[in-house]
Amino acid sequence: MGKKTGPNPTDRAKKGTKKSVLTDGRGAPVGIAVGGANTPDFKLMRNTVESMPVPRPAAAEGQLQHLCVDLGYDYDEVRALAEEFGFTLHLPPRKPHAKKVKRSASKKARRWVVERTHSWLTRFRRLLVRWEKREDTYLAMLHFALGIITWFHALLPK
């Protein structure tokens, strides 16, 4: 394989690739970064946020721009990066300190929209197994697939 691959820690050290996707609140992809399978999630965060092809719109008065991440991003570097880019960070608490969160209809689920976008990416067979040896051609295929996802996403009802 080429660059941006590394030994997968869960698959007998076979070479693999990790995709880090940034989506908007509805799940439309707005940025992507690629790294080796052995790269920790939080190491790809800066590249993912900076990969947005258009400038991020300024927040309206009194509105916050949220960044929802999973427990793999529980590092001080992530908190500093969220502050640097002006995001309100949503990070689940660690188990010993976790409080029982009451479910309510007014609270909106946030992480599933990214998981859905990852699921849509795996429906492209060419991306499910990385056949491209060079990183730039693989990234081009990812951008092509994300363009198709965004196009279909625009057709979904709001």
Q: Which residue has the tokens 């869960």?
A: 10
Residue 84 lies in a domain: yes
- Report the chain's mean pLDDT, rounded to a whole number: 81
Instruction: Give Cα 139 to chain centroid, integer Å.
Output: 15
Residue 158 has pLDDT above 80, yes or no: no
Q: Is 77's pLDDT higher than 90?
A: yes
Predicted confidence (pLDDT) per residue in 6-21, tens digit: 676 666 666 778 889 9
Q: Is residue 41 part of a domain?
A: yes
pLDDT of residue 13: 65
Predicted local confidence at residue 105, as pLDDT: 59
Burial class (CB in 10 A: 0-12, 13-18, 19+), 105: exposed
pLDDT value for 61: 81
Has residue 40 been placed in a domain? Answer: yes
How many structural domains are present in the chain?
1
**Is residue 157 assigned to a domain?**
no
Segments in 5-56 forming alpha helices (H): 45-50
41-55, 58-72, 103-117, 125-139: which range is least confident on average? 103-117
Alpha carbon separation from 28 to 58, 73, 100 (Å, rounded)? 18, 21, 31
Q: Is residue 42 within 8 Å of 78, Cβ to Cβ? A: yes
**The pair of three-digit structure tokens given for residue 117, joined into one six-digit string:** 């976008």
**pLDDT at residue 130 greater than cutoff 90:** no
- The single-letter code of the amino acid at 100 is K
pTM (2 d.p.):
0.77
Parallel, antiparallel, or unpaired for β 88-90 and 29-36?
unpaired
pLDDT at position 98 over 60: no
d(CA 50, CA 8): 25
Q: What is the CATH number of the domain that holds 11?
A: 3.30.420
DSSP SS3 for 30: strand
**How buried is 142 (Cβ within 10 angstroms: 0-12 exposed, 13-18 middle, 19+ buried)?**
buried
Q: Is residue 59 situated within a structural domain?
A: yes
Residue 38 belongs to domain spanning: 6-95+111-149
